[in-house]
A and B are shown apart, each in its own frame.
Chain A
Amino acid sequence: MAANNWGPMLWMTFRRDVRIALTYRLAFVLRFLSTLFQVVVFYFISKLVTGSPAGLERYGGDYFAYALIGLAFLRLFNISLTGYANAITEAQQMGTLEAQALLPTPLQILIFGANLWPYLYAFGETIVYLLLGLALGAPLAGANVSGAVVVALLASVAISGLGLMGASVILVFKRGNAVSWVVEAAAGLLAGTYFPPELLPGPLQKLSYLLPHTFALAGLRQALLTGASFAQLMPSLLALLAFALVLVPAGVLSLQWALRRAQIKGNLAQY
């Protein structure tokens, strides 16, 4: 057997999940419709926002464009945050987790692979969000797309660290992914998903700096709404790199610990 076959197994896992997803065709249609409705709802809500509230000015003052970026990337970041735990829970419920744990490929690799298709799909949805926004007049014409892609990918890596910790929580507690719940809620409230963090009271603004989402969304808005250069994006990129350097190793270690614990308790497949 080859020294390791992680690459081919990641591909096989991705391919498997695409084929499974293709058997649920109605889900594709419904998710597209939900994206469409969400964008339209925020388009009309934005009509209520007049003037240029604090925090919007530096992105051009358009609330619809501001919210669009938050909506478009929140789903992508949520996949990085919850996808690993979801993959474990689904495999536990289907009964396939133990069968995969019996393979010579490390289970960590298969769990990582199981998030590739959901991530790519969410990436596609993000593009759909942005295109719908563009069609409704969001000022994205001068966007630095490559800069936005780099910010999004780096943010996804950093948030994946939290996602791996969430997966560990699921392996230990089976239900109640506290890590994902806290981060998802905090990202919605503090990170500038729906409104600028500048509107928050001072202490909460400081708390928002503990989330990679805050730097990711700031960088993405700079890149997409103001066409900021890579040099201008550097503060966001460096912050996200720092998050990634801390969170990813912590996530990997926590997952290894949780898998070892499941091997001792014999409850890997329980949910």
Chain B
Amino acid sequence: MTSHPDAIRVEGLAKTYPGKPPVQALHPVSFAVGAGEMAVVLGPNGAGKTTLFKILATLLRPDAGEARVAGHSLAESRAVRARIGVITDPDRSFFWRLNGRENLRFFAAAYDLRGSAFEQRLDELVEALGLGEFITRRVGSLSSGQRGRLALARALCHRPTVLLLDEPTRSLDPAAAGAFMQLLGDYLQQQPQASILLSTHRLGAVAPFVRRALILAQGRLLADGPPEQLIQQAGLPETATRTEALAQLYAHYTGTETQYGR
């Protein structure tokens, strides 16, 4: 694989959805996420977060700008997809009539994880993510939290270089969201070259793990940096916790209050 300082490098990426009228979802945005970094994208609904994630995951074509993900241009979509792990809709992205193991077997095969290699990796994921109690149950019978963990298992099964997680904690209760973030933290420790870009409204859950926040509103990247630094730059009063810092930044830049959502 190509060696690269930034796991994600975005330059002037923009997207307008065609239609009557066209909708400019993303004004040109530029940022980079380094290897070993976990960054959170914050913003209200309609800020352009999902558009950004979909472009980086090669599901959506940008109108302008360039991006490299895991060392590859978005035009090299197969190479990018082989190196990313993605969560977009944990609840509705599995074959509900199959059990968790069968689902993971199908998706893992696309990364050449088959036979004993798959079984070995599955054992690791079952242990790390606590899937043992439900991996053999039909996905349709699982709770949202269990499907969320299964989605993370799918995203991690091929040991991706870059994780793109669009609101992965959306349907999780606070305790499950915290546990989910802990799993991501553990993954970064095990794979120090990996990077994670995630979006969430659960500031309390992500605060202990992220050192970097990107704030999007109305398709514009309004702030990018460590929360404490952004607080200083914006002239906001210092906060006791990073959760409060994130909440304050969110309110300052987007003009909307957010519930901390543990």
Q: Which residues in A have some Cβ–Cβ distance to B below 8 Å?
A: 1-2, 5, 8-9, 12-13, 16, 19-20, 23-24, 94-96, 98-99, 101-106, 260, 263-266, 268
Contact = CB atoms under 8 A, between A and B. Distances in A.
A264 B61 CA distance: 5
Contact of A12 (B89, B91, B106): B106
Interface residues of B, number: 36
A1 B60 contact: no
Interface of B: 15, 17-18, 51, 54, 57-61, 78-79, 81-82, 84, 86, 88-89, 91-98, 102, 105-107, 109-112, 114, 154
A94 B111 contact: no
B92 A95 contact: yes
B17 A19 contact: no
A104 B111 contact: yes
The 10 tightest CB contacts between A and B, nearest first, are: A95-B92, A99-B93, A103-B110, A104-B82, A12-B109, A104-B81, A23-B97, A263-B61, A105-B110, A20-B97
A266 B102 contact: no
Contact of A266 (B54, B94, B105): B54
A250 B51 CA distance: 31
Contact of B95 (A8, A16, A265, A268): A16
Given A2-B112, A102-B86, 8 more contacts: A19-B102, A98-B59, A102-B58, A102-B59, A104-B79, A105-B110, A263-B59, A266-B59
19 contacts: A12-B110, A16-B98, A16-B106, A19-B98, A20-B95, A24-B97, A96-B92, A96-B93, A102-B84, A103-B111, A104-B78, A104-B111, A260-B61, A263-B59, A263-B61, A264-B18, A265-B18, A266-B15, A266-B54
Nearest to B80: A104
Contacts of A24: 97
Contacts of B81: 102-104
B46 to A, nearest CB: 14
A115 to B, nearest CB: 16
Contact of A103 (B94, B102, B107, B114): B107
B106 A98 contact: no
Contacts of A263: 59-61
A171 to B, nearest CB: 14
Contacts of B96: 94
A99 B107 contact: yes
Contacts of B107: 99, 103
A94 B112 CA distance: 25
A98 B97 contact: no
A99 B94 contact: yes
B88 to A, nearest CB: 6
Nearest to A23: B97
A105 B110 CA distance: 6
A12 B103 CA distance: 10
Given A98-B88, A266-B54, A5 B95 contact: no
A236 B110 CA distance: 39
Given A9-B109, A102-B81, A266 B51 contact: yes
Contacts of A12: 105-106, 109-110
B106 A8 contact: no
Nearest to A103: B110
Most chain B beta-carbon contacts within 10 A, residue among A20, A98, A99: A99
Contacts of B98: 16, 19-20
